[in-house]
Amino acid sequence: MIAPIAPFVLPQTHTPAGFSIDLWNEVARRMRVEFAWTVASAQPDLLPAVQHGDADVAISAITMTPEREKVVDFSLPYFDSGLQIMVRARNESTFLATFWSIPWRPIGQLLAVAISIVFLLANLVWLIERRNDRNFQKPYVRAIGEGLWVTMLIIATGEHGERDASNMWRRVLVPAMWLIGVVLIAQLTATVTSSQTVARLQSTIQGPDDLPGKTIGTVPGTIAADYLTQRGLPFVNVTTAAEGFRMLTQGDVQAIVYDAPTLQYWAAKRSSGVLQVVGPIFRPEKYGIAVAEGSALRKDINEALLAMYEDGTYEQIYGKWFAAAK
């Protein structure tokens, strides 16, 4: 059984791929066993599946701990890891950094509301002016086009027609439309400005000692979550890498604490320089392959791993996924 966690098990791939996938394929080949992949929705689901007999083996990025050793057996360690911290890049001046820091979804929602309001106002202008103004005595579509143009002019200038016009509805409508336009423009400006302010904030987080008092995100049910809980540091739940990126770029969290190789992989592959991994690796940990307690598979897996270490196969697989990060 596997669970997505890059680069050990890449998410959203048609065929399972990743460091742990390549490692297990070679282990299974040497053991001469056939197998089928079962994908769990999240990392915390792996060990219960092995414990309850729903899976014979679990491999992904499973940290070996004394607590976990009480419910499952582990193979020899096959990866040295630890926790690290991801923050916004300190010096961001690229176009892409600015582009991705803009909250496009709220802006899109605001524009949709603005378009709807302008369209309604254009219809009001048409209803008021269609008897007196030739420009509005046209088929509906063309008349509404004229209404849209007049509406935009009113929002931009605050005026429409002659100042001494006696039409009461016009005198009420024009300032109301102008005020609505001011509110919409102010809201759009505030949304963009606040996002850019967040984008320019320099991170003061350089290691785990800087985490107290900061807004932190991590994946619940993981070693990172346990670490933060033990230190009395509250955290925001993060379920996917994309969600973590959004939280950091938009300022919802100031740091993501998670397994170092995963953060390093995503920072290098997907963040376009907007995010960076900072500080040393802390709380060292090792990854292992989990099997049920007393399973005979453990001995065969260990023998395969030892043989891979000895003949250089492990180094070849490691180099495929991590050589660029050295």
What DSSP string runs through 165-232? ---HHHHHHHHHHHHHHHHHHHHHHHHHHHHHHHHHPPP---SGGG-TTS-EEE-TTSHHHHHHHHTT
Element containing residue 58 per DSSP (H, E): strand 57-58
DSSP codes of every residue in 232-295: T---EE--SHHHHHHHHHTTS-SEEEEEHHHHHHHHHHTSTTSEEEEEEEEEEEEE--EE-TT-
Please count the other Cβ atoms lying within 10 Å of the Cβ belonging to residue 198.
Answer: 17
Q: How much is the pLDDT for 325?
A: 40
Q: What is the Cα–Cα distance from 120 to 88, expressed in whole angstroms?
A: 41
Tell me: cis bond preceding 77? Omega within 30 of 0 counts: no
68-119 pLDDT tens trace: 999 999 999 999 999 999 998 764 445 555 565 566 777 788 888 888 888 8
The whole model's pTM is what?
A: 0.59
Q: What is the pLDDT of residues 140-162, one digit of tens each?
A: 888 888 888 888 877 777 666 55
3-state helix, strand and coil shares in percent for the chain, rounded to the nearest 5: 50, 15, 35
Single-letter amino acid code for the residue at 14 = H
Kindly state the average pLDDT of the residues 42-67: 93
- End-to-end CA distance of the chain: give it in Å, rounded: 29
